[in-house]
Amino acid sequence: MTVQQRRPRAATSERREVLVREVRDGNGNIHDLARRLGVSASTIRRDLRDLERSGEITRTYGGAVRGPHPHEPTLREKEHGHPREKDAIARVAADLVEEGDVILLDAGTTTARLAWHLRERTGITVIAAGINALAVLAEAPGVELIVLGGRVRHPGEGIVGPYAEEQLRWVGPDKAFLGADGVTSRGLCCPSLEQARLKHAMLEAARTTYVLADASKLGAEPFGYWAPLDRPHTLIVDAAAPASEVERLSASVLRAHPA
């Protein structure tokens, strides 16, 4: 006798349609989804498991992302996204750097623009975790440049790994400037666990931390790894960042206006 596969009830089917839309919009946290849909977390986990089997999403620790496998863009691809906004954010960040400062500079395209605006400075020390920032500052005569040791990760060209994390135990930077592929109330969204660990170590090492994020990053959850923003920090966003998204992040905010 052939056993026919049971089809989901109408309510279940409708809920799963909503789930797919929410996950594709970057809202993949299990407990947030459970509250929003008025069901238990275990029901959401069961729904996500079945949706993953159908190839519509990819489950992660604590939630899900659009499936089947999120694409991680290269730095060259990222450089074409929101260049005016990133440069405006970088200029605001550069104005925060004072002579005598020791700063931590995360990998990424916005932090690379910050490096560009610092290349003529004197009397500052930059500890860099990205190949693109290193290339910009390598010949800056007034900048003391320190390279975090570790493995270069592609395609983001950031330096990651236990050696980089260990090195941060021995420095006390005045300021850290972090980037991310997404920023939500959970923290900074990252393509890999190594990146998430390093960003959190940078957050813990610095006296003051700034997160550089254009409007497209706010509320985005493209990957399944997170660096919690569990210490005070300031978010630097462009003028187009929606007030509703900014307010959800419970952080001090500086807005940058493109030239």
Ranking 60-64, 233-237, 244-248 by mean pLDDT, the lowest is 60-64
What's the pLDDT tens digit per position in 175-232?
999 999 999 999 999 999 999 999 999 999 999 999 999 998 998 888 889 999 999 9
What is the average pLDDT value for the chain, to the nearest integer? Answer: 86
Q: Sketch the domain layout of the chain as residue ranges.
A: 10-66, 75-256
For residue 173, the surrounding DSSP H or E stretch is none
What's the pLDDT tens digit per position in 119-174?
999 999 999 999 999 999 999 999 999 999 999 998 889 999 999 999 999 999 99
CA–CA distance, 169 with 164 (Å, rounded to integer): 9
Residue 214: which of 117, 105, 116, 78 has the closest Cα? 78
Strand order in the sheet with 143-147: 143-147, 124-128, 102-105, 175-178, 208-212, 234-238, 252-256
Position 19 pLDDT exceeds 50: yes
- Its pTM stands at 0.74
Give backbone dihedrals phi and psi of 160, rounded to 5 degrees, phi first: -135, 175
CATH topology of domain 75-256: Rossmann fold (3.40.50)
Q: Write the class of the CATH domain 10-66.
A: mainly alpha
CA–CA distance, 30 with 207 (Å, rounded to integer): 33
Q: What is the pLDDT of residue 125?
A: 98
Assess contact for 159 and 192: CB atoms under 8 A.
no
Give backbone dihedrals phi and psi of 100, rounded to 5 degrees, phi first: 95, -10
Q: What is the pLDDT of residue 7?
A: 42
